[in-house]
Amino acid sequence: AQSVTQLGSHVSVSEGALVLLRCNYSSSVPPYLFWYVQYPNQGLQLLLKYTSAATLVKGINGFEAEFKKSETSFHLTKPSAHMSDAAEYFCAVSEGYGQNFVFGPGTRLSVLP
């Protein structure tokens, strides 16, 4: 069975500081991994995805994530936080295209002025 853990339910950073959101997964098959962002009472917006190509994945809004098989991790980073980055972030794993997602518990990112 697949599972996703996200260390830190709430992360606060100052505007302009590095953003690091952690994600670890377990999967019995080579995983497809995703990061989504959710603003209050809205749906999910895809930030980036890993589907067995390059291990360093660049996404939208300056975010990127690195797939590390040995660590079963897919941490999300952004060099410089912006106030508009404040939102809920979900890491998700899938067994393949067309399969459902298993979501992590989410990390709420706060950006302080």
Site for other proteins in 37-96 (CB under 8 A): 41-46, 90
Tokens for 8? 């830190």
Q: Give the number of residues in contact with other proteins, rule: CB under 8 A.
A: 17
Q: Residue 64 and residue 113: Cα distance in Å, rounded?
A: 23
Tokens for 49? 């995805």
When binding is defined by CB under 8 A, the residue of 53, 84, 100, 113 that contacts other proteins is: 100
Is there a contact between 48 and 74 (Cβ–Cβ < 8 Å)?
no
The residue among 19 and 92 lying less far from other proteins, judged by its C-beta, is: 92
Is 101 among the residues that bind other proteins (CB under 8 A)? yes
When binding is defined by CB under 8 A, the residue of 1, 70, 84, 97 that contacts other proteins is: 97
Q: Is 16 left (phi over 0), alpha (psi -120 to 50) or beta?
A: left
Q: Shortest approach of other proteins to residue 16 CB, angstroms?
A: 28
Is there a contact between 105 and 88 (Cβ–Cβ < 8 Å)?
no
Chain residues in the site for other proteins (CB under 8 A): 36, 41-46, 90, 97-98, 100-106
